[in-house]
Structure 1
Amino acid sequence: MDPHKRSATIEIINDTGSVLAVGRYGTDKTGYAEMLTAGRKFQNRVWAVEGSNGIGRHIARRLVHDGETVLDVPAKLSAQVRVFATGNGRKTDPVDAHSVAMAALHSPNLRRVETDPELVMLGMLADRRDELGRARTQTVNRLHRLLLELFPGGAKKFLSAMQARALVATIKPRDPVGKTRRRLTVELIAELEGIDRKIKAADAELRQLVTDRGSTLMDLHGIGPSSAARLLADVGDIHRFRDRNRFASWNGTAPLDASSGEQQRHRLSRAGNRRINRVLHVMAVVQLRHRTTGRAYFDARKSAGKTSMEAMRSLKRQLSNVIFRRMLADQRRREKASPGGHSGTTLDSSVTGLTPHTDPSEKPLPGPANTQANPTPAGVS
């Protein structure tokens, strides 16, 4: 399937790649029912949807809800198939649907789409929390602009609504322009107070949901309720990653091999899940602001000749390992506590006592399969 907001183009092929049917359907109730009927004419069917975490998410979840088996085909994978198949990368909806179908036919390790109501809810609330954060930043920026015009030199950089209100109370302009400016400033302060209340409520709700799910991500230094919710929602089942190197490649913290001949070098990866990469960046920044083992690791890397940016990238790679171990331990504990299992001692996911080293943490490519937690983890807290 090549999905769009209001339409979806499907191509049905058999296990030899022969095209059996092609169709274009609307994504409204009627069009979806027609598409589902067309697909259910074939036994042992599997739906391959391009971008099930993006534009195809709405229709992929509807299919899963209706009991269908759905695979997620990354857009980059289908794009590669399209280029090699046609030779010119010509892009139409039927060509895209054929590329998605062929990519699914010849790719054995595609992720199966599953819907966990708790994770869907966490993702929605994490999105809302991010929106509130952006709205607060925009409001504070507008407030600073007005305060700069009201007070010589403006206000301090990190300004709370209470501090802004106390500052505005000290000035009483007499001219019409000044009075208007002050009124607008008071209105922005009221907006900021409202956003702060919503952020506080959102954080409390996310904290409760993350805790109820049995996650201990918030115990890590630099991971708050919204970051933990984002990790849980976007990662889903941590077992889908063969090892920590696969996880690092997915979140964009694993460097890319750019070696040529005798020159051995790596470059920054700008691929991967950028939202999770941002979570790791915020976690690293928070750790650098305090006396943590993360700060000690960063200083050790700089002492070894790394630049600040290179040391930061190494730290983010280490933090990716820490999060992977923690989520793996949480998942195993959750599985043992589920019906049919029992609670018990979990694998050690402690991340204290950093021993800086670079061998496994800076591998640009995934290594051998290994989902066991390191008995003596060199993590960062």
Structure 2
Amino acid sequence: MFATGQGRKTDATDAHSIALVGTRMAGLRPVVNDKQLALLRILVDRRRSLGEDHTRMVSQLHQLLLELIPGGAKKSLSAAQAKALLATVRPRDGVGKTRRRVAAELIGDLERVYRRAKEADKELKELVASTGTTLKDLHGIGPSGAARLLVEVGDITRFPNRAHFASWNGTAPIDASSGEQVRHRLSRAGNRQINRVLHIMATVQLRSPTEGRAYFDRKKTSGKTSMEAMRALKRRLSDIVYRQMIDDATAATATGPGGHRETTTDSSVTSSHPHAGSSEKSLPGPATPQPRTTLAAAS
């Protein structure tokens, strides 16, 4: 199609390409309609939407309070705090009164969003717990992060090893070496939602005296910049998440029905904190035919 000079991407061309892959490629995995994951996706998307609404409303409220109160309000502002501040304002002109009324409406909207977010968190927490995942045991991953990992990753065994998983989620560094200078840069590719989960996980670990914080500090001491140290930390956390999900899949296979397979993973990560190692490899090379990650047989 492209050799003829047409170069057009159409639905018919896409369908033809997919048909070729489906009929000629070996080892393809069938699509499974997992109703539990579908439900989890609806809830986690809803929770994200509520968070975005909250951020937007707080931003609008800050703008109004800045015009109503000298100096405005503090950055981390709750609905109750905003209501208390607004109670001290008594504008006399029509513009000021309108600002105060709109601010009061925004505060009411914030209270409703907060209640809905709290209910969504509770429902999400219960549904994540029902999946049997242990992702929440990892420092820095909550119900929303665990749910996002489950719905985006699906079957973790589709990744042959941790390097492929890191390449998929965008934490594998890209080789940017030139001449004798050997360096890597941050990848902007990959699944950005999972990359965000790992970024939040790294940020949470940096706030406490965790091994993640110690790992970050060691990278800084070795001469890396803060951005490079954060990239290295996220790459290590990707390995940890991969190992945890493989362990969960193995446990589920051992206790559930169906056939069982052996496991061949190359991850050496055994805890929720990063350790020094050789995990900072860049993107894996060209794909070669190889068996997918399999699960351990039940004893």
Q: Which amino acid aligns with 2:186?
A: L
Q: Which has the higher contact order (CA 8 A, sep 6+)?
A: 2
Deviations 1:125-169 (A, max 9, x none): 111111111111100000000000110110000111111111111
TM-score in terms of structure 1 length = 0.68
Structure number having the greater strand percentage: 1
* Equivalent residue number for residue 147 of structure 1: 65
1:269 aligns with 2:190: no
Q: Structure 1 pair 251/242, CA: closer, same or farther in 2 (3 Å)?
A: same
Given that residues 145 and 197 in structure 2 are in contact (C-alpha distance below 8 angstroms), is that contact kept between their aligned partners in structure 1?
A: yes
* In the alignment, structure 1 residue 97 sits paired with structure 2 residue 15: yes
Paired position in structure 1 for 2:279: 360
TM-score, normalisation: structure 2: 0.86
CA contact (8 A) 1:251 1:277 kept: yes
Residues 141 and 116 from structure 1, CA distance in 2 versus in 1: closer, same or farther, beyond 3 angstroms?
same
Matches within 5 A, 1:328-367: 328-339=246-257, 350-351=270-271, 354-357=274-277, 359-365=278-284
The structure with the largest helix share of the pair is: 2
Q: Is the 8 A contact 2:212 2:273 kept in 1?
A: no
Q: 1:307 and 2:238 equivalent?
A: no
Distance 1:274 1:287, change over 3 A: same
| Among 72, 81, 97, the residue aligned to 1:163 | 81
Cα drift, residue 176 of structure 1: 2.2
Instruction: Establish whether residue 136 from structure 1 lines up as the match of residue 41 from structure 2.
Output: no
Q: CA deviation at 1:264?
A: 4.3
Distance 2:30 2:273 in 1: 37
Give distance in 2, aligned partners of 1:340 and 1:95. Answer: 38
Distance 1:86 1:207, change over 3 A: farther
Instruction: Report the Cα distance in structure 2 between the residues aligned to 1:292 and 1:369, rounded to whole angstroms.
Output: 36
Q: State the identity %.
A: 57
Residues 336, 250 of structure 1: alpha-carbon distance in 2 compared, 3 angstrom cutoff: same
Q: Are the aligned partners of 2:133 and 2:248 in contact in 1 as well (CA < 8 Å)?
A: yes
1:282 matched to 2:200? The reply is: yes
Any idea what SS the aligned residue of 2:281 has? coil
Q: Which residue of the partner structure matches residue 176 of structure 1?
A: 94
1:240 maps to which of 147, 150, 158: 158
Q: List gaps (5 residues or longer) in structure 2.
A: 260-267
Confirm or deny: 8 A CA contact 1:266 1:364 kept in the other structure: no
For the residues of structure 2 that align with 1:132 and 1:316, how far apart are their CA atoms? 26
Q: Superposition RMSD on alpha carbons, in Å?
A: 2.7
Could you report, residue by residue, the CA deviation over 1:7-43 in whole angstroms, capped at 9, with x for unpaired residues? xxxxxxxxxxxxxxxxxxxxxxxxxxxxxxxxxxxxx
Q: CA deviation at 1:92?
A: 2.7
- Give how far 1:361 is off: 3.6
- Whether the aligned pair in 1 keeps the contact of 2:236 and 2:279 (CA below 8 Å) is no
Report the CA distance between 1:174 and its aligned residue: 2.5
Say how many residue pairs are matched. Answer: 285
CA contact (8 A) 2:184 2:282 kept: no
**Partners of 2:67 and 2:21 in 1: how far apart?**
58
Letter in 1 for 2:111: E
Aligned equivalents of 1:323 and 1:333: distance in 2?
A: 15
Q: What secondary structure is seen at the aligned counterpart in 2 of 1:222?
A: coil
Indicate if the aligned counterparts of 2:66 and 2:72 stay in contact, CA closer than 8 A.
yes
User: Residue 190 of structure 1: which of 108, 128, 131 is its match?
Assistant: 108
Equivalent residues in 2 for 1:61-72 (5 A)? none
1:317 Cα deviation from its structure 2 partner: 0.5
| Gap change, CA 1:352 and 1:267, over 3 Å in 2 | closer
Deviation of 1:259 (Å): 4.8
1:332 partner letter:
T
> Measured at CA, do residues 227 and 98 of structure 1 come closer, stay the same or move farther in structure 2, by a change above 3 Å?
same
SS of equivalent residue, structure 1 residue 154: coil
- CA 1:349–1:305 in structure 2 vs 1: closer, same or farther (change >3 Å)? closer
Residue 105 and residue 138 in structure 1: after superposition, are their counterparts in 2 closer, same or farther (change >3 A)? same
- Pairs within 5 Å for 1:223-262: 223-259=141-177
Structure 2 counterpart of 1:233, one-letter code: V
Give secondary structure in 1 for the equivalent of 2:251. Answer: helix
SS at match of 2:46: helix
